[in-house]
């Protein structure tokens, strides 16, 4: 290991793998290491053995769950928005050639004790019990306004300035009820709390348009999901990196991050050997999140997420036996500040044995009894065969890394999709490379 690298990347989570893929394509010499003997870090998908080793080290998986290798259980529940930023990166880097996707079959929202489908067609919207007849007319006017909006044509603005007027102003202009606002802000714009309401309407507008254009793409929900689980995503970017010369090492304990007398990054020590590089990128767990790294703490906790991975032997009640779905419980409905999410996938996605359904219930922790906070979500699932509860701190770096060449990514947040992961990739890229990330099309190899 006496070679010198441009960049050492620590941790093979999705954020780190996208970065090492893109950096390798750019011609950088990358060494990518992980302490685990599997890919994916915090965003891995685990087989049963790995899952039990992580949560219940002294218990073997029960035999009636089926074959170990049929399982790929996500640790972080997220879906891919069909027209979102991650899709763009997948398409532009051509890692789509390593992946197959399935549509998520439906998106549901909780209202007054029951769940209803988020309408995906005009017909469904007309029949939806989510709004009364007059409210439907008002909502229609609101959506027509959004659809018709053209920045350069003031006649489409109806007196609204998206960059100055708040979303509250927009809702009031169309006379939308509180329940409808909940639905639009949480089930469509996918905000986790209500802070957006008093802010300028532009980002909400963008998010609603993203939602509806993604919905229009495949028809049932705005989401797609990779067969064999989310863990396929980091692996496909790792392959991209390797094809461009990136070197991969798993099962490597990182003993120390070596710096010079000015605190600038020098190299990484593993197994008694120090590998040198100009820069290091890594997830928070390599930089003091777990108290490691010689006591030097380079990240701070920003809050916690509670996630309960639940095995079911039936689809979620009230979802028309969907093989997959998202259910959003808007905060107002259960007197919370943050929404509760349920993400469910099944054997159709090659992530578990036939007849098993994997639902993950999650939310941002607000009290000192996190498991209690997701009770409203758990109660929608019906009988739970088994449950693994994880309370994960969310870390963010304390500095940009430009002074010491140590660049740290963020933990995976509570949002239901990957948009914030891509924002982090873009942010770290800018800090590492010094310029905005511009996606280039990978050269298609000559084929006969």
Partner 1 sequence: MSPATTSTQPVNVKLLLIGNSSVGKSSLLLRFSDEQWLPEDESSATIGVDFRVHKMDVKGKKVKLSIWDTAGQERFRTITSSYYRGAQGIILVYDVANRESFEALPRWYSELETYVSSSVVKILVGNKVDKEFSRQVPTAEAEKFAARMSSLFVETSAKTSVGVKEAFTEVVEQIMDTPELWENTSARGQGTAHGNGGVPGGVQVVGLMDEQKPGEGCAC
Q: Which residues bind ligand FAD (CB under 6 A)?
A: 82-83, 87-88, 91, 213, 217
Binding-site string for partner 1 from residue 29 to residue 68, where x marks contact by CB under 8 A and - marks none = ----------x-----------------------------
Q: Where do the DSSP E strands lie in 172-312? A: 223-226, 247-249, 256-259, 265-270, 273-282, 299-312
Which structure tokens are listed for 208? Answer: 């609603």
- The stretch among 54-62, 92-100, 171-179, 200-208 that binds partner 1 (CB under 8 A) is 92-100
In the complex with partner 1, the residue whose CB is nearer, 37 or 436, is 37
Shortest reach from residue 217's CB to ligand FAD, in Å: 5
Q: Which does 224 bind (CB under 5 to 8 A by kind): ligand FAD, partner 1, none?
A: partner 1
- Within residues 130-169, the interface with partner 1 by CB under 8 A covers none
Q: How far apart are CA 150 and CA 309, in angstroms?
A: 43
Which residue among 26, 94, 177, 371 contacts partner 1 (CB under 8 A)?
Answer: 94
188, 176, 82, 184: which is closest to 134 by C-alpha?
176
Q: How far apart are CA 202 and CA 200, in angstroms?
A: 6
Q: How far apart are CA 442 and CA 187, in angstroms?
A: 35
Binding status of residue 220 toward partner 1 by CB under 8 A: yes
Q: Which does 88 bind (CB under 5 to 8 A by kind): partner 1, ligand FAD, none?
A: ligand FAD
The total of other beta-carbon atoms located within 10 Å of residue 262's CB is: 7
Shortest reach from residue 188's CB to ligand FAD, in Å: 15
Shortest reach from residue 385's CB to ligand FAD, in Å: 35
Q: Which does 101 bind (CB under 5 to 8 A by kind): partner 1, ligand FAD, none?
A: partner 1
Residue 369 burial by Cβ neighbours in a 10 Å radius (0-12, 13-18, 19+) = exposed
Q: Which does 213 bind (CB under 5 to 8 A by kind): ligand FAD, partner 1, none?
A: ligand FAD
Q: Which does 248 bind (CB under 5 to 8 A by kind): partner 1, ligand FAD, none?
A: partner 1
SS3 202: helix
State the DSSP code for 159.
T
Contact of 287 with 298, CB cutoff 8 Å: yes
Contact of 241 with 24, CB cutoff 8 Å: yes
Binding status of residue 245 toward partner 1 by CB under 8 A: yes
Which structure tokens are listed for 93? Answer: 């880097």
Give the 3-state secondary structure percentages of the chain, helix then strand then coil, rounded to 5: 35, 25, 40
Give contact residues for partner 1 (rule: CB under 8 A). 39, 69, 82, 87, 90-91, 94, 96-103, 105, 120-121, 123-124, 215-216, 218-220, 224, 227-228, 232, 235-236, 238-239, 242-245, 247-250, 348, 350, 441, 444-445, 447-448
């Amino acid at each position: 290991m006496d070679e010198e690298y441009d960049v050492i990347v620590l941790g093979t989570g999705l954020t780190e793998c996208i970065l090492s893929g893109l950096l390798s394509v750019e011609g950088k010499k990358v060494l990518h290491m992980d302490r685990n003997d599997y890919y994916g870090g915090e965003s891995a998908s685990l087989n049963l053995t790995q899952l039990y080793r992580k949560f219940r080290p002294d218990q073997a998986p029960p035999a009636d769950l089926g074959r170990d290798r049929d399982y790929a259980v996500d640790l972080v529940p997220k879906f891919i928005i069909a027209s979102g930023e991650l899709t763009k990166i997948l398409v532009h880097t051509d890692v789509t050639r390593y992946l197959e996707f399935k549509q998520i079959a439906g998106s549901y929202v909780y209202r007054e004790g029951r769940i209803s489908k988020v309408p995906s067609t005009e017909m469904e919207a007309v029949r939806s019990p989510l709004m009364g007849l007059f409210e439907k007319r008002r909502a229609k006017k609101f959506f027509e306004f959004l659809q018709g909006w053209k920045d350069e044509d003031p006649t489409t603005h109806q007196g609204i300035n998206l960059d100055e007027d708040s979303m509250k102003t927009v809702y009031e202009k169309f006379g939308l009820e509180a329940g409808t606002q909940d639905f639009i802000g949480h089930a469509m714009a996918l905000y986790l709390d209500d802070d957006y309401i008093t802010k300028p309407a532009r980002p909400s507008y963008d998010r609603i348009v993203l939602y509806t254009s993604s919905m229009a793409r495949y028809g049932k929900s705005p989401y797609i999901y990779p067969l064999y689980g989310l863990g396929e995503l980091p692996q496909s970017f790792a392959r991209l990196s390797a094809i461009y010369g990136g070197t991969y090492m798993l099962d490597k304990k990182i003993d120390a991050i070596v710096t010079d007398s000015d605190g600038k990054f020098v190299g990484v020590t593993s197994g008694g050997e120090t590998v040198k590089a100009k820069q290091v990128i890594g997830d928070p767990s390599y930089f003091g999140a777990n108290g490691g790294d010689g006591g030097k703490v380079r990240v701070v906790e920003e809050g916690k997420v509670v996630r309960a991975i639940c095995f079911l032997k039936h689809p979620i009640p009230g979802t028309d036996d969907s093989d997959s779905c998202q259910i959003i419980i808007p905060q107002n409905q259960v007197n919370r500040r943050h929404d509760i999410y349920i993400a469910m996938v099944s054997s159709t996605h090659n992530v578990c044995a036939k007849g098993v359904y994997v639902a993950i219930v999650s939310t941002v922790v607000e009290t000192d009894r996190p498991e209690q906070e997701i009770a409203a979500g758990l109660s929608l699932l019906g009988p739970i065969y088994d449950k693994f509860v994880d309370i994960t701190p969310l870390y963010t770096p304390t500095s940009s890394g430009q002074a010491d060449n140590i660049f740290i990514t963020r933990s995976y947040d509570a949002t239901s999709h990957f948009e914030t992961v891509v924002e982090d990739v873009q942010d770290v890229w800018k800090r590492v490379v010094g310029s905005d990330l511009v996606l280039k099309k990978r050269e298609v190899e000559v084929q006969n």
